[in-house]
Structure 1
Amino acid sequence: MMRRFLTIILFLSFTLSGLLSAQNLSFYFPDEIKQLNPDIPSPREFLGFEVGEQYVSYDQTVSYLRLLAQRSDRIDIIENGYSHERKPLIFLVVSSKKNLERSEFIRKQHLDLCNPVKSLKLSVDTLPIVTWMGYSIHGNEATGVNASIVVAYILAAGEDEFIKRILDNNVILIQPAQNPDGVQRYAAWVNSNKSASENSDANTREFKEPAPSSRSNHYWFDLNRDWLFVQNPESYYRMEVYYNWLPTFVNDFHEHGNTSGTYFSPGIKNSTNHLIPDDNWDISRKIADYHTKTLSKIGTMYYSREGYDDYYTGKGAALPDILGGVGLLYEQPNPRGFVREVDGVKIRFADMIKNQVFCSFSALEASVEMKNELLNYQKRFFIQKQKEAQKDEVKGYLFGSSDDLSLTKELVRILKVHKIDIFRLSKDLSINKKNFKKESAYIIPVNQNNYSVIRTIFEKTTTYKDSSFYDISTWTIPLGLNIQYSELNDLSTLVGEKLVSEIFSESYSVPLTHYAYLFEITDFYAYKFLYYLQSKGVKLKVSDSPFSINRGEKRYGFNTGTVLISVNEQSMGKEELNQILNNYISANKIDVLAVDNGTGDNFDLGSGHFKPVTKPKIALLTGKGAAYSIIGELWHLIDLRFGMPVSLIDIDNLATIDINEYNIIVITNSFRLSKEAADKLSYWANSNTLIGIGTSYKTLNELNISEINISKSITKEESKKDGSFYDYIKRDNSSSINGVILSSILDMSSPLSYGLRAKEIPLFKEGEIIITNSKRGYITPLIYSENPLMSGYLSANYSSQIKGTPAVLAGKGLIYFVDDPYFRAIWLGSSRLFMNAIFFRELLAKEKVLTEK
């Protein structure tokens, strides 16, 4: 009996140790919150713990918010899609019962307010404002998702006049966690490494989540850079809800990694994107006064107007600014666990949740008191943008090519997500040395409601007020896709019918032949077809030179990189082979020619000009030191886009596994290898291929696989050497490369060029790696052009040093990319060089990669 009693006491002591460190829910309540509806379940009643006592997981968040929606007549719930890991994407629509009963009417009226043709007849006096609250787009910034359940509970249960005024004047859209997969991972990490007693030692495991961190989603993307590109399902379904409402006031809740106070917008005024009206900053500053008042009351240190900008429009606090909204960014100090001590300062999880909750309600207070001002701003925005569009010398953009229909489809998909009208080209057109066919080209008139979004997608920029950038300095999407496009100054007679559905390809079947099939790989998704065939056991060859062949009385010309399937060389019969081809072709656009003889004009199909294409077996090296954003992108490219298996191998396991299972290993950064692993990898590279990216050249040199040398660093401008210490700490980034688009020239005889028609390739460069030239041109298939800058901020010093230098090196056992070839999953153009490296690596030069010292 005594033993049982002691056991109970011990159990209670461990349980209470957690409860004693937790805060009562009222700790998170603003002063105005005094009365709560007892019929609405609190977070503790459902979760079994107080907010802040544990990190709430995403599945717990979804379950609790579904319950709130069931119990409260103030909440509707939207579930419109799933994350990569099949977690439901949920949004709450919160308002008064009366407003929710007519929510569809309010939504349509609000959209009318954003339409210059209809808005003149509308008064904002009786319209509720639409306010967006987005939390935890970075999974390891978890105070947001934990705060969201407090905010939702108060809005559902609050009976005070303060809450009723908010609900009467608002339709509030809450996304509790914009990155479900990251939130779930981070909650599991912190909760599983939490101690019963408080431990604020920053070195303990609780605060040291290993890479790749939960900041990112399943494929390790930063989802707060994907609002414009919409390459992930989390972004796609978020934008679906966003455009369905076009919120007026957008709040984006984050955390930062230092001990500075709470940040809130506006940011650096001179670093604001030129498409954002000047009065947006002024309104943000006025809203900030509500936060300064609220945070001052509870003793929270804060700052504004520095540290962050509003330049890159692909972020959650910036894209709304070019859609008539006012976007505010919030950054709390990141606790990384429950209580973390940094430089003598204790950062408490509960305190940071409280800050997020209080900022949420000071924002909602501003939305009520500034409702008419904010709605009139949004109404005025679209009227002004219509005037700008009408005055713009550029009347539209033309894009599209029959060579690569998939890239045209991708740009169309992005434009449709952003509610941009697309029209067919009415007649063939040649402009700026580019040929556009009416069957495959499309026009975007700029005089549309989302004029600013059209501009931010298509425009190139080389002039800037400021040379400091929190993120990148340019992001022209057609250049990333490497799709031909042109500005149009006159749309007369060019605009055809509106594109109302997807671009469809006509299905067909390739006829049976006893001899051979031929196809070119001009389409982006041709690599998916290549691997599909190899996975079915089909043997492939590729031509190293152009050729032509006769079929009946018709002559067909083929480019370098044409794929040959010889029927008699296959292990399956001709009927089965034909069925394999047609199973794919029936659902995918690819032109395959069946031929009944092998006679060609330049050489025959049995010639040695056709080289075998071996099936790739790919590994991406992960572990300490890896560039996880690049690895995640390449994983996404190979696995999700092309349906090819790829193994993620931790560098610490390299010495113990059989790497002969792979014929391609990708290294994205500089690794410190054990001697055993280094020897093993170096020997393996004698008969296989390493693909290196960025600073991996250091490891490659250490393995004696290459001798890649870096151009000497550009020194700071002389004017920066002098001046005060204040001048030093606020100096600009003129000695950095903050994301620019550079022109490069491709050797069209190289296997890396297969399937590509234009030798100019737009590359995205971020970082200061500049490689010295090689004396052997054939190991330099891609170089930066003599006038490399296409768009972005690049100092004259860097421009002169980059021109003519290698962008890719390729030789024995190695293909090296200076920069990320698939930046943020939108640089599909240069990713084709990477995929050519995957499939045609064995056709490259067999000499060691060397550059000048």
Structure 2
Amino acid sequence: MTRFLFSIFVFSTVFISAQNLKSPSEFLGYELGTEFTRHHEVVDYYEYVAETMPNMVKLTTYGQTNERRPLLLAYVSSADNITNLENIRQEHLKDTQGDGGNASKAIVWLSYNVHGNESAGTEASLQTLYELLTSKRSYLDNAVVIMDPCINPDGRDRYSNWYNQYKNKPYQVDPNSKEHNEGWWSGRSNHYMFDLNRDWAWLTQVESQQRLKVYNKWLPHVHVDFHEQGVDNPYYFAPAAEPYHEVITDFQRDFQVTLGKNHAKYFDANGWFYFTKEIFDLFYPSYGDTYPTYNGAIGMTYEQGGSGRGGLGVITRIGDTLTLKDRLTHHHTTGLSTVEVSSNNSEKLNSEFRKFYKNQNFRYKSYVLSGNQDKIEALKKLLGKHNIEYGTPSVSSVKGFNYQTGANGSMSVPKNSLVVSTNQTKGTLVKVLFEPKAKLSDSLTYDITAWSLPYAYGLNAVASTALVSGQKSEVPSISNTITGDTYAYISDWNSMQDARFLAALLKADIRVRKADHPFSIQGKSFSRGSLIITKGDNQNKPDFIAELSRISKEFGQELTPSNTGYVDSGKDFGSSYVQMITKPKIAILSGGPTSTLRFGEIWHFFEQQLHYPITVIDSDYADKVDLKDYHTLILPSGNYATHFGEKQLEKLKNWVKAGGKLIAMGGAINGIDGEKGFGIQKKKLEEDSTANKPKPHKNSQRERIKNAITGAIFKAKVDHTHPLAYGYGNAYFTLKLGNAGYEYLPNGNAVYLEGENPRPISGFAGSEAIKKVSNSLLFGAEQVGQGKVVYMVDNPLFRGFWENGKLFFANALFMVN
């Protein structure tokens, strides 16, 4: 068959298939937008389309969620492009290496429903898929469209199942009706209550980890993240608001305008309202618009009014009825418009994409990091997931900006240090993630303003303007010889890997002691918190040696053997300062007063990071639970203003007095502070006489942010002799997320800000907020009877990425007694 006849055959086959293709409404049996499509039905339709039109659709599964729902990607393009899909991908990636020039197709990635109750996106994807294969087929000649119909299937089904359970028939538009008011656990988050739209850079969640493996294989030209906002808001699309990060190119800015004007054309024709250049900026690197942008894409957020409040239809503030059909139609329109503009500008997208990867000339050429080896290995794992190259520095010292001092200086480079250079494919992303202080063009931002990885991982670092060469990085090998003749084995305590090791030992019923004083033995020194595992403590455990060998090998833990408990300096192993670590039974409060995000961070920490059991007690029945069954109770941050009554506080306090340990985090402290029964006190500031002077209304937003701290990094002082701070040095870089200020405790101030008006070393903090956190407690513990209350004003588990804070939480669990 000649090539001409073959092309005729392919065209005829595609045409006939498209003619026979059922629309989503025909396939599902109801008009799209009149019901919420459950995830398995979405999968069914995508599978049906791929089976019907295999020459234009390639459907893959890139993973599954915690609740075992599949994660899908559909590659949609012309028959010729689908046949040559792998060649198109490879030619496209050559543009990132400086040896391209033949790529010609626009690669457009459309991501839907990252927030489960922002459900119009997935519904829109069904109609968009159908029309790309039928009425809009011409868009596909110059474009490959990658569609992720639902990033968050667990959250989507949680919402759709809840809505179907509570909605009126057919539905009620009154916003006060139950169907417009989700409960405590809404559909927004994933299984572990994480916000997946803030996890692109940190990759703490399985959905993000699996998605990024595929994303890095394509690195699209355009990425759209479809969202929903409040029901009263008109549609939002590009261009984005300031601040833009300084690495964003002129073309990336300009093409957002090009796309926005095309969307506006369709919205104007239909009389739909929209806004641009407001609220949603391009700064924080872990969003579905910014992360792709820092990888060369035109990354955008599109926001439709609705979300979980929208239901199938709801009355808005101005008296209009907003339906699910309206919502999906708007998303469908911008989705098709995006593909249209991208297809028409495929040549420009390819040439500018090549420039993005070619023109990288940043001030800092290399970032050199040293410190705890476990923390370095943890950082390497994150870098590997992003395809960021790293190595071991081939120098003994380096000059540049010193992260610890905040000034230019030098740092010696020990063995097994780490160097990460911007002279690589992912150089722009390296600059964004590692830079000491991101340049902020506007303090009005949508999210946190500081995140630098050297601070987040607690490593010494220097940013060098010179390129520091490196060689292949290798993991140091650990080899332990464990025998039944050894008196004791000693392990360090200064990282989360040490905490995981301890958790595994306790779960295996191996008894472990901790050193409350530094000591030296057999010529080697050990710090406070060091773990001591003795033969005598475990003589009644027949498999002690085998289990200790297995667990130490699993966690790569180096154990120092000792044939004696008699130390060279410090306290002997039989001292009262070398106490047994309790195997704690731990409970956490959920529901009602707690924040789902803050609860989820703790839940995920226990199950996916520490691997230690935890009991979840819901606030609905917490009064009926006998706390005597638990060693530790955790109160996640939230709104506890009216939660604890007088009897509940008395019960809680009596439990602590009897020996219980209470860990209160963030907003939970407000529910138990000095006025309500415990010793911690809020800071009281003298009122500013100028505060009530009239100010222009146009400046009201600027005035409000004077009281805000939008995720800024502060350098705090540490009392490393306190059990809550074992494993730390004299300083800790904390990510402060608000202006809550508490007075120092009479005793037990483990981490605190010292001095008037402490300035952040990175990120934005308002002038009034700084006053509130001056001379204030961050982490501390107080003795109450026989028990302890641990206060965590700042959140060391925030979004699961502030690696250096996690040991504080482990200390609260295991070291504070």
Q: TM-score, normalised by structure 2?
A: 0.91
Q: Does 1:793 align with 2:768?
A: no
Deviation at 1:469, TM superposition (A): 0.8
Indicate which of 404, 424, 429 corresponds to 2:392: 424
Contact (CA 8 Å) 2:705, 2:766: kept in 1 or not?
no
Q: Deviations over 1:718-761 (max 9, x none)?
A: 6x9545433335657233111101111110111112223x2211
Which of the numbers 460, 471, 483 marks the counterpart of 1:497?
471
Which residue is equivalent to 2:269?
Answer: 297
**Relative to structure 1, is the Cα distance of residues 257 and 521 closer, same or farther in structure 2, using a 3 angstrom cutoff?**
same
- The verdict on how the C-alpha distance between 1:246 and 1:383 changes in structure 2, with shifts beyond 3 A counting, is same
Change (3 A) 1:516 1:52: same
Superposed CA offset, 1:122-152 (max 9, x none): 256xx11000101111111000011111112
| Aligned counterpart, 2:311 | 337
Letter in 2 for 1:651: S
Aligned to 1:578: 545
Q: Distance in 1 between matches of 2:603 and 2:276?
A: 38
Counterpart of 1:627 in structure 2 is 595
Deviates more, 1:606-615 or 1:459-468: 459-468
One of 176, 184, 189 as aligned partner of 1:211:
184
Indicate the SS of the match to 2:314. strand
Quick one: which amino acid aligns to residue 53 of structure 1?
T
CA contact under 8 A between 2:227 and 2:301: conserved in structure 1? yes
**SS of residue paired to 2:58:** strand
Summarize deviations over 1:494-538 as a string: whole Å, max 9, x none. Answer: 523234xx8464444423335222222223221122122222222
Alpha-carbon displacement from aligned partner over 1:454-481 (angstroms, at most 9, x marks no partner)? 0111112265321111111111122112
What's the offset of the Cα at 1:291? Answer: 0.8
Q: Deviations over 1:68-101 (max 9, x none)?
A: 2222121112222222222222111111111011
Report if aligned partners of 1:428, 1:437 keep a CA contact under 8 Å in 2.
Answer: yes
Code of the aligned partner of 2:811? N
1:148 equivalenced with 2:125 (yes/no)? yes
Asked if 2 retains the 8 angstrom alpha-carbon contact of 1:670 and 1:697, the reply is no
Q: What secondary structure does 2:554 align onto?
A: coil
CA distance in 2, matches of 1:498, 1:656: 58
Q: 1:486 to 1:568 in 2, by over 3 A?
A: same
Give the corresponding residue for 1:538: 510
Aligned to 1:27: none
The residue type paired with residue 312 of structure 2 is: F
Identity across matched positions, percent = 26
The answer to whether 1:661 aligns with 2:629 is yes
Paired residue secondary structure (1:471): coil
Structure 2 counterpart of 1:824: 799
Offset at residue 304 of structure 1 (A): 0.8
Distance 1:715 1:37, change over 3 A: farther
Q: Which residue of 804, 809, 832 corresponds with 2:775?
A: 804
1:132 aligned residue: 109
Confirm whether residue 383 of structure 1 aligns to residue 358 of structure 2: yes
Task: Tell me the CA shift for residue 56 of structure 1.
Answer: 1.3
Pairing 1:486-565 to 2, within 5 Å after superposition? 486-491=462-467, 495-499=469-473, 503=475, 505-550=477-522, 555-565=523-533
Matched, 1:64 2:45: yes
Correspondent of 1:354 among 318, 329, 345 = 329
Measure, in 2, the Cα distance between the counterparts of 1:165 and 1:625: 53
Q: 1:585 offset after TM fit, Å? A: 1.6
Residue type of the alignment partner of 1:379 = R
Equivalent of 2:422 in 438, 446, 451: 446
Tell me by how many angstroms 1:799 deviates: 3.8
* Inter-CA distance 498–785: structure 2 relative to 1 (3 Å threshold): farther
**Which whole-Å deviations, capped at 9, do the CAs of 1:287-316 have from their partners, x for residues lacking one?**
111111111222221111112211112111
Q: Which residue of 1 aligns with 2:620?
A: 652
Give runs of aligned pairs for residues 244-259 of structure 1, distance below 5 A: 244-259=217-232
Tell whether the 8 Å contact from 1:664 to 1:690 is kept in structure 2 after alignment: yes
Q: How does 1:734-753 map to 2 (within 5 A)?
A: 734-753=706-725
**How much has 1:640 moved relative to structure 2?**
1.0
Which shifted more, 630-639 or 596-605?
596-605
* Equivalent residue number for residue 96 of structure 1: 78
Give me the whole-angstrom Cα distance separating, in 2, the residues matched to 1:715 and 1:220. 40
Is 1:288 equivalent to 2:260 in the alignment? Answer: yes
Q: Which residue of 1 aligns with 2:537?
A: 569
Q: Confirm or deny: 8 A CA contact 2:722 2:748 kept in the other structure.
A: no
Q: 2:34 corresponds to which residue?
A: 53
Q: Is the 8 A contact 1:664 1:689 kept in 2?
A: yes
* Distance in 2, Cα, partners of 1:277 & 1:714: 45
Distance 2:607 2:810 in 1: 12
1:283 & 1:350 partners in 2: Cα distance?
A: 29
> In 2, distance between residues paired with 1:85 and 1:508?
38
- Name the CA shift for 1:721/1:312 in 2 (closer, same or farther; >3 Å): farther
Does the 8 A contact of 1:404 with 1:524 survive in 2?
no
2: distance between equivalents of 1:427 and 1:716? 56
For residues 408-449 of structure 1, the C-alpha deviation after alignment (integer angstroms, 9 at most, x for no partner) is 1221122222222112222544765654323x2121121122
Q: How far did 1:400 drift?
A: 3.7
- In structure 2, distance between residues paired with 1:530 and 1:398: 30
Q: Is the 8 A contact 2:478 2:557 kept in 1?
A: no
Counterpart CA distance in 2 for 1:131 and 1:413 is 28
C-alpha separation between the residues in 2 aligned to 1:309 and 1:537? 51
CA–CA distance in 1 between the matches of 2:651 and 2:557? 41
Paired residue secondary structure (1:564): strand
Letter of the 2:33 partner, please give it: G
Indicate the SS of the match to 2:761: strand
**Whole-Å separation in 2 of the counterparts to 1:681 and 1:816:** 15
Question: For the residues of structure 2 that align with 1:118 and 1:783, how far apart are their CA atoms?
Answer: 52
Amino acid across the alignment from 2:72: I
Does the C-alpha gap of structure 1 residues 773 and 443 become closer, same or farther in structure 2, counting only changes over 3 Å? same
Q: 1:420 to 1:729 in 2, by over 3 A?
A: closer
What's the CA shift string for 1:130-183, capped at 9, x where partnerless?
001011111110000111111122223x0x4xx232111110010111112111
Q: Distance in 2 between matches of 1:739 and 1:655?
A: 35
**1:704 and 2:677 are equivalent in the alignment:** yes
Residue number in structure 1 paired with 2:281: 309
Shift of 1:486: 1.7
Q: Structure 1 residues 790 and 318 mapped into 2: Cα distance closer, same or farther (>3 Å)?
A: same
Residue 727 of structure 2 corresponds to residue 760 of structure 1: no
Aligned partners of 1:198 and 1:749: how far apart in 2?
61
RMSD over aligned CA atoms reads 2.3
- Matched residues in 2 for 1:88 and 1:716: separation? 59
Alpha-carbon distance between aligned partners in 1 of 2:583 and 2:444, rounded to the nearest angstrom: 45
Closer, same or farther in 2 for the Cα pair 1:731/1:780, shift >3 Å? Answer: closer
Q: Does 1:781 align with 2:750?
A: yes
Q: Is the 8 A contact 2:245 2:439 kept in 1?
A: no
Shift of 1:105: 0.9
**Aligned AA for 1:835?**
A
Q: State yes or no: 1:222 paired with 2:195.
A: yes
- Shift in alpha-carbon separation, 1:462–1:145, aligned structure 2, 3 A: closer
Structure 2 residue runs without a partner (length 5+): 1-14, 400-408
Whichever residue aligns with residue 782 of structure 2, its letter is G
Structure 2 counterpart SS, 1:363: helix
Aligned mates of 2:81, 2:525 — CA distance in 1? 65
Within the candidate set 359, 365, 374, 2:340 is matched to 365
**Map of 1:839 onto structure 2:** 814
Q: In structure 2, what is the Cα distance between the partners aligned to 1:229 and 1:135?
A: 20
Q: Pairwise mapping of residues 449-468 of structure 1 onto structure 2 (< 5 A)? A: 449-461=425-437, 464-468=440-444
Give me the TM-score of the superposition, normalised by structure 1: 0.87
Cα contact 1:421–1:498 (8 A) shared by 2 = no
